A and B are shown apart, each in its own frame.
Chain A
């Protein structure tokens, strides 16, 4: 109910002067930044291209024609990585939420599941992802179970989902634990059951709080899908490897790396922004 801003207002001469000063300051800062960037990057580039081995490196890693030739196969592989990331990501979200809820529940009936969830998280968070991929990828087909696919893409995805569910469960759990007990007290004193309190009061706030770290995990997930190449899945990494070993020219690796970066860098930037916004929001929450 504040007063309307007076439409007849025009800035005073002092304000106009201040605006000019601010503009001059920011222009000078931009100029300094540009000069400093050019000098630093230029120096690095000169060191690189004047180094004795540069010619060889250029031909074996940065062969533009060869890069163009392998580009379609690498990008087809990358499509596999992306599918794996999104399908796996959805499965991870569901499993991780279940694990986090089990680990925070106090319900006596769920006690055995709480222990199991804790053990699960300990195991899959503690073992290197590459070992889990090898164990699932070669171990499960060896069991010769009926009805379980021995498709390497499927098994690779399962291994990644198993591991990442443990990571993400811990992130969600930390979010749940970060909600102040007074929120729970307020909800319970309104007569909400502990399940309703979790669902309507604690979890929505917890998830909001952990969105930035979850985005980080999502970027890592995309990169780590490259590891399923060891099972023989023709993803971007494997596609590059096939081409590189055929010609002893490593340009395909560079192509794959650049393609990954084209996706992960914008995602990382976005995550950083989300974190900044989160921090600002939290400091204003604290000010209440």
Chain B
């Protein structure tokens, strides 16, 4: 299996704060890599670096073997191959659901309007949102908004999907409708890197779980190993706290 994403010795600091330190990671095709770790451990920063929303201080990032951390790379072209979904949805409030989703296929991929709309309506139907196509985002529930945000990044057929705590702004009841989309995508063979606090969900989808702590991956392995039989005392400590908070 070829690696879709390859991170080699990534380093990133904000001012004097070292957020990512010599971090390496490989993501093979059709797998889901789950990032866990305390708040502030650098999960979002890592995802933003992969998406070139942040520039790294050292190390290399490869997408399908091509170095995308090269300053001469066309960032817009790289981002076309990456989908990113944010914790706060970030839908465009002045555009309807349909317009939110078709904007990039039309303007970025140069699809015709009809083609983009047909494809979008099919996706909306698949994820039970067909009746919301003409609504504005503020008329949707949080769960519906986040599903639209996921579909928006799927519409570009990304090589790799980056999901940053996509359920942490949602009511517990709404979490499952969003996670079930991700499960579907996983069984479709989508390659994903996701940060989450939902350990049960991580167990279901993760091919590899990485525990981030002070800028590096302290422990990695199958969900079974890392989440249920952690070896590193810091991982044990973290999972105990999560357990006490009732999230396992």
Contact = CB atoms under 8 A, between A and B. Distances in A.
B108 A189 contact: no
B172 to A, nearest CB: 18
B242 interface: no
Contacts of A1: 131
B114 interface: no
B166 to A, nearest CB: 13
A118 to B, nearest CB: 27
Contacts of B76: 188, 191-193
Contacts of B152: 190
A192 B92 CA distance: 13
Contacts of B88: 182
Contacts of A254: none
A89 B73 CA distance: 43
Interface string A1-24: 100000000000000000000000
A58 B28 CA distance: 90
Interface in A1-50: 1
B189 interface: no
Contact of A182 (B90, B104, B138, B156): B90
Interface in B85-140: 86, 88-94, 103-104, 107-108, 131, 137-138
Contact of B156 (A183, A190, A205, A288): A190
A190 B104 contact: yes
Interface in B153-169: 153, 156
B108 A190 contact: yes
A288 B86 contact: no
Contacts of A200: 103, 107
Contacts of B89: 288
B103 A190 contact: yes
Given A182-B86, A186-B92, A192-B103, A284 B138 contact: yes
B86 A192 contact: no
Interface string A246-288: 0000000000000000000000000000000000000011001
B108 to A, nearest CB: 4
A204 interface: yes
Interface of B: 51, 53, 75-77, 79-80, 82-84, 86, 88-94, 103-104, 107-108, 131, 137-138, 142, 145, 149, 152-153, 156
Interface of A: 1, 182-183, 185-193, 196, 200-201, 204-205, 208, 284-285, 288
20 contacts: A1-B131, A183-B90, A185-B86, A186-B86, A188-B75, A188-B76, A189-B51, A189-B79, A189-B83, A189-B153, A190-B108, A190-B152, A190-B153, A191-B104, A191-B108, A191-B156, A192-B104, A193-B76, A285-B138, A288-B145
